[in-house]
Amino acid sequence: MSRNTMTRAAAVGLLAGGCAAAVVAPRRASAQATKLRVAGIPIDIAGACYYAQDQGFFAKYGLDVEIVQLANGSVVAEAVAGGSVDIGNGNTLAISTAHEHGIPFQLIAPSGAYNRNDPTSGVIVQGNSPIKTAADLNGKVIAVNGLRTIAEIQTRAWMDKNGGNSSTAQWIEMTFPEIGPGIAAGRAAAGEIEEPQLDAALALGLRSLGSPGDAIAPVWIEGGYFATSDFVKAHPDVVKKVAAAIRDANDWANKNHAAAWVILAKYSKATITPKHRAFYPPKLDAAQLQPLIDAAAHYGVLKASFPAGDLFAPGV
């Protein structure tokens, strides 16, 4: 799951060619198991499907799941819209953007959330940089992993809530692995970075000014599992089973950080163990998604705010 939002062109493309496609019906593997294809990306905030697979939570609810590993959130959205997978994992900003463009995605279950008590992101600068406060970032070049993304929104909000003026900054794109070395080399004055790359950057001697996610809310949902509204309407029992399996996986992962990271590292090939881990909410909660939608509207990424519950599948 990339934290990039879909562009308007991508959204229009999905409307034109994706969501009109026929829903892929779950295939019955036997009287007991329903086959599903679930698109996932092996990163911390999207880890629940991997935990559910390895720990047997999908099987517990009679689901025979094939996890289709895809590169980023836009590719996942296209796969779900086109019907090549039944369910995908995406960041909640991308799903909100799709909703704004009339693409009928519905959230089934939450994946990772930001938690102020265990922050997984930071606004970093060189260790010897004169930049000490948000106001010191005014007019500076700031790197994020994508423009008009969660990374940019939360960093803007953090600046503005801590005495800075985000409209004066110059925002550039770098991948998370590039941001730390890019700041060290002087290509940007600061950047927003996520675990496990945050720990890697700090190991290079960079330092963090603060956790930008704090500016959105103490706890807010970054990602979720979603399907088309047609799929949800056609297969309500399957949707409820998927939601239950993800809920069990989320609960397990919150209590077993080390074991969960072993599973995720197996799929992601990660070699760095992060000090901080995503929080996995027990269920979809509109109050934990609304702050991101409101912030996205405030910074013009969404045209207007809307009730977070509009994104939720019925009965989950």
Specify the pLDDT at position 14.
39
Q: Are residues 284 and 237 in the same domain?
A: yes
The DSSP code for 97 is H
Specify the pLDDT at position 212.
97
Q: Are residues 110 and 224 in the same domain?
A: yes
Residue that is last in its domain, among 215, 249, 264: 215
Distance CA 201, CA 195 (A): 10
Specify the pLDDT at position 157.
98
pTM of whole model > 0.75?
Answer: yes
Q: Are residues 189 and 242 in the same domain?
A: no
Residue that is last in its domain, among 215, 231, 266: 215
Low-confidence ranges of the chain (pLDDT < 70): 1-31
Specify the pLDDT at position 13.
42
pLDDT tens digits, 77-112:
889 999 999 999 999 999 999 999 999 999 999 999
Specify the pLDDT at position 31.
53
Burial zone of 269 (CB within 10 Å; 0-12 exposed, 13-18 middle, 19+ buried)? exposed
Specify the pLDDT at position 169.
98
Q: Are residues 12 and 104 in the same domain?
A: yes
Q: Are residues 142 and 258 in the same domain?
A: no
* Ranges assigned E (strand) in 174-266: 190-194, 207-210, 219-221, 223-228
Give how many domains the chain has, as a whole number. 2
Spatial contact of 149 and 143, defined as CB atoms under 8 Å apart: no
Residue 219 tokens read as 């706890």
Specify the pLDDT at position 2.
46
Element (H, E) at 13: helix 8-17
Cβ within 8 Å of residue 57, ≥6 positions away: 51, 245, 246, 248, 249, 252
Altogether, the residues listed in the chain come to a count of 316
Specify the pLDDT at position 187.
97
**Structural domain of 266:** 8-115+219-311
Tell me the CATH number at 277. Answer: 3.40.190.10
Q: Are residues 235 and 110 in the same domain?
A: yes
pLDDT tens digits, 158-202:
999 999 999 999 999 998 889 999 999 999 999 999 888 888 899
Q: Are residues 241 and 160 in the same domain?
A: no
Average pLDDT, the chain: 89
Q: Are residues 57 and 88 in the same domain?
A: yes
Spatial contact of 85 and 39, defined as CB atoms under 8 Å apart: yes
